[in-house]
Structures are given as structure tokens and as C-alpha cells.
Chain A
Amino acid sequence: NAGVTQTPKFQVLKTGQSMTLQCAQDMNHNSMYWYRQDPGMGLRLIYYSASEGTTDKGEVPNGYNVSRLNKREFSLRLESAAPSQTSVYFCASSEQGMGTSGPNEQFFGPGTRLTVL
């Protein structure tokens, strides 16, 4: 099992450019998440998908959109990148969703390091 995979690993964008970060998991997990991690801020949830066909905003959704393409894939799109979106982006998945009493340990991909100039 590859677990959670993310592409690309690194990306440099100019302000105003758009891009899509890809994420896939092969653990048959129901829930998937996108986080950003910035120094001194910890992990912050951008969007999540509790199950295939549903998506919800997290803590910092502005400037982002997501698509749960199927059970395996969850993509994050930046429509018009801004320097404030320079960050490390992590995708994660869990068997069950947050807020439930089921198995909801999250497993992370290796991250995408994004710089917006």
C-alpha cells in the first residue's frame, strides 16, 4: 500500500496563477482532508470530505476549492494564488470522520511545499 500520495512535492507560482494539488489514498478510507501548516500556526484544516460526494469547509477555506473526485481522490485548487498561500499543504485520510467515535486516526501524505511569489 502506498498510503496517501500527493503531487506535486514542490511548486512555485506567481501571484494570480492557479493550480491544483492532487491527493489519493489506497486505504479505502471514507474521509479525506486538506491542511496547511505554517510556522508557529500548527496544522489548520482547509477543507474536508467526510465521505464520497460531500465536502465541507474547515478553519481556513478562503481562496481554495476542493473536489472529491471519487473515494480515492481529493483535490485542492487555488484559483488565484496569493503570497499568503505560501505554505506546506498536507492531505490526510481516515477510516471514519472527525467528531465520530469510530476509528478516525488520520494518515498523512508527504506534503506539497508551495511558494507564491
Chain B
Amino acid sequence: RKEVEQDPGPFNVPEGATVAFNCTYSNSASQSFFWYRQDCRKEPKLLMSVYSSGNEDGRFTAQLNRASQYISLLIRDSKLSDSATYLCVVNPGLYAGNNRKLIWGLGTSLAVNP
């Protein structure tokens, strides 16, 4: 099992749609989780941090399910400007064998169409 897995997509949705992405992680001791957004040929930018049972920021909601080891990102009322790649990132914390790096998913591509 990969350390962090995401459905690569692409997800093609119309404006105004609700879309959800899932991300699974393998290390049950992982401490914190993030969603980043990356536009084409640009740097990743932090979208949301997910520290406990989840959080909401406007149209975006992130959920964490530790028992099943996955996090999700829900985008409501999609806008054209939401078109991007969404990267799931896991902080595995301190454990033997960890060379102190964040674990990055390969990303889920979203295209919002007019």
C-alpha cells in the first residue's frame, strides 16, 4: 500500500457542483494532515490544515477519519477558479525509519466547466 494514495482523476464537474476527493494513508500514527492546491506550472499552496475531526473554510470542508485512515475534501458550489490539482499531504510524525519528511500524494486533478 502506498503511503498516501489519491484518485488522480481528472474530475470534470459543472460550475455549481459539489465534488469530493478522498485520500488514504498507511501510517496509523500520522499526526497531521493538509490539503494543498497546485495550479498548472505553479507552486503548491496550502488550502487547509486538518488537525482533528475536520474543519470548514467557506465552500471547503476537510474531514479526517482516523479509524479508516483517510481524509476527504469537499468543495461545494464549484467555481471555474477551483480548477487545479489538489494534493493530500500527511505528517507522519516521529517514528523509527521516518527521515522527517512530509508524505505527498500525487494529487487529484479537478476541472470545473462552464
- Residues of A participating in the B interface, judged by any CB pair closer than 8 Å: 40-43, 45, 48, 50, 56-59, 90, 97-101, 104-111
Question: Is A104 a contact of B101 with CB atoms below 8 Å?
Answer: no
Q: Which residues of A contact B94 (CB under 8 A)?
A: 99-100
Residue among B42, B44, B87, B105 with max Cβ neighbours from chain A (10 Å): B44
Q: Are B99 and A59 in contact (CB under 8 A)?
A: yes
Contact B102 A56 (CB under 8 A): no
CB–CB A111/B43 < 8 A: yes
Set A40, A104, A109, A110: member contacting B91, Cβ < 8 A:
A104
CB of B94, distance to nearest CB on chain A (Å) = 5
Secondary structure of the A contact surface, majority rule: loop
A108-B100 contact given A99-B92, A99-B93, CB 8 Å threshold? no
Beyond the given pairs A104-B91, A105-B49, 13 more chain A to chain B contacts, judged by CB atoms under 8 angstroms and listed by A's residue number, are: A41-B106, A42-B87, A42-B104, A42-B107, A43-B87, A48-B101, A50-B100, A58-B101, A90-B43, A98-B102, A99-B91, A108-B43, A111-B43
Does B72 interact with chain A (Cβ within 8 Å)? Answer: no
Point out the residues of chain A lying under 8 angstroms from B102, CB to CB.
45, 98, 104, 106
Nearest CB to that of A57 among chain B residues?
B99
Q: Would you call the interface of chain B mostly helix, strand, loop, or mixed?
A: loop
Query: Chain A residues with Cβ under 8 A from B101's Cβ?
Result: 45, 48, 58-59, 98
| Contacts of B63-101 to chain A: CB distance below 8 A | 87, 91-94, 98-101
Across-interface contacts of A100 in B (CB, < 8 A): 94
Contact A56 B99 (CB under 8 A): yes
